[in-house]
Structure 1
């Protein structure tokens, strides 16, 4: 007799982020012209972008609105039926879920939206998404690239980094692992309290993280720290830092190399929305099925920065530790771009 094993609904990877920006044109300049991302659709105050090695319709949505909040954090599920299966699971557990009709985001199929228990962040899960070809003038001869490499050379969205209050972080981090199946790769604790999670890096694939969650310095839930975009190599990070400095773009931290995950980083601000964006290169990969998460202590001199200047982490003076807000279950009204 053949037995068929069904692992249940699963997450495949971090899929996207919808950034609310009061200045859409400035944000577009930043991501399209500097980062080199391809605009796949645009209109009515919304722009959709992707990296040069992304075939899905988009990983970044820029929405023009008065509130500079993160509207949604999105993950693609592993199978078409997983959207409905997660919906049933969450509803049975008492989590309020909204069905997002196909086409609400251009090029994307039906999705569900809910607030992360313990965090309050608006999360969307989807499977169906278009895979349009780039315009003739942008196509690459390399079949593994959706478009030619331009600007800083953003390849793809790498991960999302969120924060919530110290009173809720253990619940939120546990829910991401237990209900969405994220695997803890490395984590940060207090020397005096190893049960308190200061931060946790989690993935469903070989990366260090599809999502990371930390304790917010302001004690508030539903906070956003950064979204990271992958670029090819360390040299690209240094080139970007040189050019961004000359353009007076705010640099919050870096360039440097993380001890946790071992990737090179550069944290900057989108000048249209003031949300933090990370350029991210390299990093250790995780293939072991029996991987035991690495525990770092918050006072380690090697965790945040292996080399490079240590970021200022004083909550009173540091631009690096500040967070920006997320929307609720109902998203803010968007404002159409001026003609």
Structure 2
């Protein structure tokens, strides 16, 4: 059997659409401790303090909330070539772009559900300013010491009209490997967690209960400790940010979490998965049943109903009923 390639290094950055750009920027700077590193047109680029790349999040003004492009970095120029060829075979490729300020050539494509991606290898590393220069040379910027102090972008959870086609695409075209999944009693696959690295997951696809395509469930940023998340809850409370649910612990992936809505309406997770890594090269996918999922979280309060119904961009009932 041919050795399985792992051509994607990591999830790099994500674009969010927001109808209140200034308020969203203020949230990520003041409550999430990010740094604005660039502004271009209707977009603002922000950096998490220990990201080696120039930006971690792009906020773009829009009439409504929602998800823009997700950028992923290839492991090498050769890996980039292989993945572009594989994506083009699927018919989902859109061609090359040089529009982003921090990357070399970026290959644009979508997954089967229509979520936009950008794949690249050449990148510009973050350069600290006098104000952000760290004392330790092995981190990107100084520890901000404010808000929730998120260290990096951790993962993204896409909503999908149906999971299997996206699952096949991530596995075959992007060389992701599944770590956990939910299969309902009907045999329908309701969700799959994928990893590109040794982290337990980087990209998640969850079935959209509306049947819509191209929507977002949440993006997640990693903190160093659970205590950071507990303190963040107080930060959000004082800032008037809507806390949807948490802090609790997920059974799936064992993630300690807090979910909030940023001012534009997109769901944001603060997460801490501890030291859980997938070091086994022959990891077997963990399958959760409908009955097991009905038990809710590993511990904490019952899962709030909006966690299953809220996605962005929002969809009126008349559009899917």
Q: Does 1:266 align with 2:254?
A: no
Partner of 1:223: 215
Alignment check: 8 A CA contact 1:9 1:77 kept: no
Alignment map for 1:1-339 (pairs within 5 Å)? 10-101=7-98, 104-117=99-112, 119-150=113-144, 151=146, 152-165=148-161, 168-193=162-187, 196-271=188-263, 273-283=264-274, 284-300=276-292, 304-313=296-305, 318=306, 321-325=309-313
Task: Measure, in 1, the Cα distance between the counterparts of 2:190 and 2:22.
Answer: 36
Alignment check: 8 A CA contact 1:269 1:275 kept: yes
Partner of 2:319: none
Alignment check: 8 A CA contact 1:133 1:146 kept: yes
Partner of 1:329: none
| CA distance 1:289–1:302, shift in 2 (3 Å) | farther
> TM-score, normalized by length of structure 1?
0.86
Q: What is the deviation of 1:68?
A: 2.4
Q: What is the deviation of 1:100?
A: 1.2
Unaligned runs of 5+ in 2: 315-321
Q: What is the deviation of 1:241?
A: 0.8
Alignment check: 8 A CA contact 1:225 1:322 kept: yes
How many pairs were matched up? 310
Task: Measure, in 2, the Cα distance between the counterparts of 1:98 and 1:303.
Answer: 45
The structure with the greater share of residues assigned to helix is 2
Q: What is the deviation of 1:201?
A: 0.8
* Helix, strand or coil at the partner of 2:253: coil
* Helix, strand or coil at the partner of 2:292: coil
Task: Measure, in 1, the Cα distance between the counterparts of 2:164 and 2:75.
Answer: 26
* Helix, strand or coil at the partner of 2:309: coil
Q: Deviations over 1:147-166 (max 9, x none)?
A: 1222211100000100112x
> TM-score, normalized by length of structure 2?
0.90
* Helix, strand or coil at the partner of 1:90: helix
